[in-house]
């Protein structure tokens, strides 16, 4: 069996057992395979094993891969953009991705909405929140989330789905859970505020179980599926 297929099976088994432990439906936790730095052949191997949702951080690399995988005859896939967004690079994101997890400014959201092609469904959006304070540069401050969420929810060609975070790495399970709990509480406040959300994008290879315990609906897993990344090669 290919290592990628084997890893996907192991992660799926972990998602199922963790959801069970946490008293949640395993079907409520979607696995996003983060394929950054890996080539189209790795994506195709995961597709062979049944994976359909893939995350990319770097725009040009992602666009090249989407094209290569399409040309190789893969079935329709859901591509999620999960990297930092430059305001002059919003158009190709709006044209080629189904989801964007890393919206943190109104101006970026406006551009994505304006540039989303008319024939496509709305672009699915998560706001990236900085839940680790000084330790992270990316994401909006928790106290700014509600105002931005209401503005993004009103844009015509976007669907605001929820929140995303990358907490600072923590070894202890309890510490991991505490960070994810902060995102969950913000999310619950938005729901109470009347926004129709269904997505908490949180948890990676090293802290996926803690995220599932705190309500993650999308876990973004890279190295545990594809192996260690080599950034020099990318
Ligand atoms: C790289 C990356 C991941 C996956 O990280 P792993 O530790 O390899 O699972 C998830 N989310 C984001 C935003 C990333 O940049």
Q: Is the CB of 205 under 6 A from ligand 1?
A: yes
Cα 167 to averaged position of ligand 1 atoms, centre (Å): 11
pTM over 0.75: yes
The pLDDT tens digits for 178-226 are 999 999 999 999 999 999 999 999 999 999 999 999 999 999 999 999 9
pLDDT at 234: 47
Residues 49-77 have a mean pLDDT of 98
Structure-block tokens of residue 148: 């931005």
DSSP 89: G
To test ligand 1's pocket by mutation, which of 51, 220, 226, 234 has the most ligand atoms within 8 angstroms of CB? Answer: 220
- Interval between CA 202 and ligand 1 midpoint (Å): 10
The phi, psi pair for 190, rounded to 5°, reads: -65, -40
Which atom of ligand 1 lies nearest, measured to the CA of 34? 4
Instruction: Report the SS3 class of residue 228.
Output: coil
H helix intervals, 89-222: 90-96, 106-115, 145-153, 173-192, 208-213
Q: Best substitution site from 32, 33, 34 to test ligand 1's pocket, by max atoms within 8 Å of Cβ?
A: 34
Q: Is the C-beta atom of 8 inside 6 A of ligand 1?
A: no
Closest protein CA for atom 6 of ligand 1: 222
Q: What is the mean pLDDT of residues 88-92?
A: 97
CB 222 less than 6 A from any atom of ligand 1: yes
- Cβ neighbourhood burial of 79 (10 Å; 0-12, 13-18, 19+): buried
pLDDT of residue 2: 82
Q: Assign residue 162 a region (left: φ > 0; alpha: ψ between -120 and 50; beta: otherwise).
A: left
Any idea what DSSP says for residue 211?
H
Query: For 105-164, how does the pLDDT look when each residue is reduced to its tens digit (9 = 90+)?
Result: 999 999 999 999 999 999 999 999 999 887 677 999 999 999 999 999 999 999 999 999
Domains of the chain (ranges plus CATH)?
Answer: 3-226 (3.20.20.10)
Query: Ligand 1 centroid to 83 CA: how many Å?
Result: 9
Output the average pLDDT for the chain. Answer: 96
When pLDDT is cut at 50, 70 and 90, the band that residue 231 belongs to is confident
């Amino acid at each position: 069996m290919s290592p990628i297929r084997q890893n996907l099976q192991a992660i799926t088994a972990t998602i199922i057992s963790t959801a069970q432990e946490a008293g949640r439906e395993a079907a409520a936790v979607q696995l996003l395979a983060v394929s950054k730095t890996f080539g189209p052949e790795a994506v195709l191997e995961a597709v062979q094993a049944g994976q359909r949702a893939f995350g990319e951080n770097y725009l040009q690399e992602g666009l090249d891969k989407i094209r290569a995988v399409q040309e190789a005859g893969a079935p329709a896939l859901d591509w999620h953009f999960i990297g930092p967004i430059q305001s002059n690079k919003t158009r190709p994101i709006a044209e080629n991705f189904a989801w964007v997890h890393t919206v943190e400014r109104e101006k970026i959201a406006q551009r994505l909405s304006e540039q989303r092609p008319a024939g496509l469904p709305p672009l699915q959006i998560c706001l990236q929140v900085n839940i680790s304070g000084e330790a992270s540069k990316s994401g909006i401050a928790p106290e700014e989330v509600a105002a931005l969420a209401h503005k993004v929810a009103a844009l015509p060609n976007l669907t605001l789905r929820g929140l995303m975070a990358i907490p600072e790495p923590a070894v202890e399970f309890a510490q991991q859970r505490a960070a994810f709990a902060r995102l969950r509480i913000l999310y619950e406040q938005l729901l109470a505020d009347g926004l129709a959300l269904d997505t908490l994008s949180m948890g990676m290879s090293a802290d996926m179980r803690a995220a599932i315990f705190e309500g993650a609906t999308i876990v973004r897993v890279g190295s545990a599926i594809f192996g260690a990344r080599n950034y020099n090669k990318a």
